[in-house]
Amino acid sequence: MESKKYLIETFGCQMNIHDSEKIAGMLRNLGYNETQEKSCADIIIFNTCCIRESAELKIMAKIGDIKALKKANKNLLVVVCGCMTQQKGMPETLKTKFPFINIIIGTHNLEELEEYIKKYEQTHKSFSDVWEKEKEIKEHTSVYRTSKFNAWVNIMYGCNNFCTYCIVPYVRGRERSRKLEDIKAEVQDLVSSNKYKTITLLGQNVNSYGLDFKDGKTNFVTLLKELSKIEGDFKIKFMTSHPKDFSFELVDFIASCDKMSKSIHLPVQSGSNNILKIMNRHYTIEHYKELVDRIYDKIPDATITTDIIVGFPGETDEDFIETCKLLEYVKYSGVFGFVYSKRRGTPAEKFDNQIPINIKRERITKLFEIQHAIVKTNSEQLIGKTLEVLIEDKIKNVFIGKTDAGKTIKIKNENLELGNFYKVKISKVLTNELVGEVIID
């Protein structure tokens, strides 16, 4: 008999991408195999995100599309999980709008999905079970990894920061760190497999790793020091950092350790102190710049990326100009810019000085214009430089690699091995990619 098939639709951040790898692991335990074709699927899982309204609208539309399939195939099992379902009243809204959904669960009981599916297969009764509170971390889930050379590793879950615009603390619960030994064992396994060349540590604010243990010794730098002792040819990346907790000790450690990636994601959100304050970010722009200076000073080949929100309630033209000036100051290698979106239940939803959509749009366009020019200059300055490149693919006689900062680079060479790091001299800069030659040293 042909095996049953699953299809997972993933929305949102890396945390969700990795959660979908756990979901795939559980489904495979139950004997399902993957399909890319919705009409061939026996189970469709929506792993949702609610960070902005646009994400939610898109997901609602995608769930709506399933109605016809479900009519044609009564046995199709439809599951909705992830951040969206964790909002107050959302399971009820979903049930009313889409009565054909069979299982609704939240972020805190993802690990139970395997049991829930078994239960459904026996009873054929639809249900919704969303836990309000987080439970202790459950280890040893089966993970079916879908990325090629990069492996995602959770180091902590949840967030305690309550930035006034953000829904994450409400849907992912409070900060919980995984035990250092558990993380180390997982990374050791991944590296030993010789398949994974970058290990990306995941958390909403990785810089507060271990603080919940209150043992006075475990913190993010202690964790990195332990992981960097693992032998092998691999790089350690992490996301996301909160600037208020990014210590100088961490900068110095990254500078001193070959295994640490020199590409740092440091979300600033705004260049204006007024706005940072009402966003509840707990740092000033002076502190942020001092951190950036320290990074560039200690790590000369560092690249920095950021997240920015434009049109936060009360953002004046002057505030926005401060943000534009910051782009020029830091010369980010990449900016993820977002238009502020009201989120239900967050403090900023109630702020009465909301910004009209046309101004928000003007500001985001301007932001991208400035950043585009910066990226162009940054890239041009790479000509003649030698960068470390991971070779990820080969198309005809051209090898495709990624720099530490995530830029695509094409190399024509006969004898490279996929999944190896090489030193590459940049010879040409095209719009979205670099061209280079391997240096043998």
Residues that bind ligand SF4 (CB under 6 A): 159, 161-163, 166, 168-169, 204-205, 242
Nearer to ligand F3S, 83 or 355 (CB): 83
Does the footprint of ligand F3S cover residue 24 (CB under 6 A)?
no
Rule CB under 6 A: choose which of 27, 41, 50, 308 binds ligand F3S. 50
Let me know: does 9 contact 44? Beta carbons within 8 Å.
Answer: yes
Rule CB under 6 A: choose which of 152, 340, 399, 422 binds ligand SAH. 340
DSSP 74: T
Rule CB under 6 A: choose which of 45, 90, 168, 278 binds ligand SAH. 168
| Residue 435, both tokens | 């061209």
Let me know: does 422 contact 391? Beta carbons within 8 Å.
Answer: yes
What is the smallest separation between the CB atom of 342 and ligand SAH, expressed in angstroms? Answer: 7
Does the footprint of ligand SAH cover residue 87 (CB under 6 A)?
no
What is the smallest separation between the CB atom of 83 and ligand SAH, expressed in angstroms? Answer: 10
Phi, psi of 117 (to 5 degrees): -65, -40
Nearer to ligand SF4, 241 or 261 (CB): 241
Q: Which strands make up the sheet holding 4-10, listed edge to edge?
A: 32-34, 4-10, 43-48, 77-82, 103-105, 127-129
Let me know: does 385 contact 425? Beta carbons within 8 Å.
Answer: yes
Rule CB under 6 A: choose which of 13, 221, 230, 370 binds ligand F3S. 13
DSSP-derived pairing of the beta strands 334-339 and 303-310: parallel
Let me know: does 168 contact 204? Beta carbons within 8 Å.
Answer: yes
What is the smallest separation between the CB atom of 337 and ligand SAH, expressed in angstroms? Answer: 8
What is the smallest separation between the CB atom of 256 and ligand SF4, expressed in angstroms? Answer: 27
- Among candidate residues 7, 70, 68, the one with its CA nearest the CA of residue 38: 7
Binding partner at 162 among ligand F3S, ligand SF4, ligand SAH, none, C-beta below 5 to 8 Å by kind? ligand SF4
Stretch 374-433 residues interacting with ligand SAH (CB under 6 A): none
Nearer to ligand SAH, 110 or 159 (CB): 159
Nearer to ligand SAH, 76 or 168 (CB): 168
What is the smallest separation between the CB atom of 95 and ligand F3S, expressed in angstroms? Answer: 21
Binding partner at 101 among ligand F3S, ligand SAH, ligand SF4, none, C-beta below 5 to 8 Å by kind? none
Nearer to ligand SF4, 250 or 374 (CB): 250
Distance of CA 96 to the CA centre of its chain: 31
291 to each of 264, 265, 296, 304, 311, how far by Cα in Å?
12, 12, 9, 11, 25
Rule CB under 6 A: choose which of 18, 108, 242, 363 binds ligand SAH. 242
DSSP 209: T
Query: How many Cβ atoms from other residues are within 10 Å of residue 121's Cβ?
Result: 12
Let me know: does 115 contact 45? Beta carbons within 8 Å.
Answer: no
Nearer to ligand SF4, 169 or 314 (CB): 169
Stretch 129-168 residues interacting with ligand F3S (CB under 6 A): 167-168
What is the residue type of 33? N
Does the footprint of ligand F3S cover residue 389 (CB under 6 A)?
no
Rule CB under 6 A: choose which of 341, 371, 379, 403 binds ligand SAH. 341
- Computed on alpha carbons and rounded to an integer, the radius of gyration of the chain in Å comes to 23
Distance of CA 238 to the CA centre of its chain: 10
29 to each of 21, 109, 139, 142, 330, how far by Cα in Å?
12, 17, 16, 8, 47
Rule CB under 6 A: choose which of 41, 44, 51, 77 binds ligand SAH. 51
Binding partner at 340 among ligand SAH, ligand SF4, ligand F3S, none, C-beta below 5 to 8 Å by kind? ligand SAH
Stretch that binds ligand SAH, among 21-29, 164-172, 208-216, 353-361 (CB under 6 A): 164-172
CB-based burial label for 31 (10 Å; 0-12, 13-18, 19+) = exposed
Query: How many Cβ atoms from other residues are within 10 Å of residue 25's Cβ?
Result: 16
What is the residue type of 357? I
What is the smallest separation between the CB atom of 204 and ligand SF4, expressed in angstroms? Answer: 4
Binding partner at 257 among ligand SF4, ligand SAH, ligand F3S, none, C-beta below 5 to 8 Å by kind? none
Binding partner at 338 among ligand SF4, ligand SAH, ligand F3S, none, C-beta below 5 to 8 Å by kind? ligand SAH
**Cα-based angle 97, 101, 104 (whole degrees, multiple of 5):** 100
Which residues make up the interface to ligand F3S (CB under 6 A)? Answer: 12-13, 15-16, 49-51, 83, 167-168, 171-172
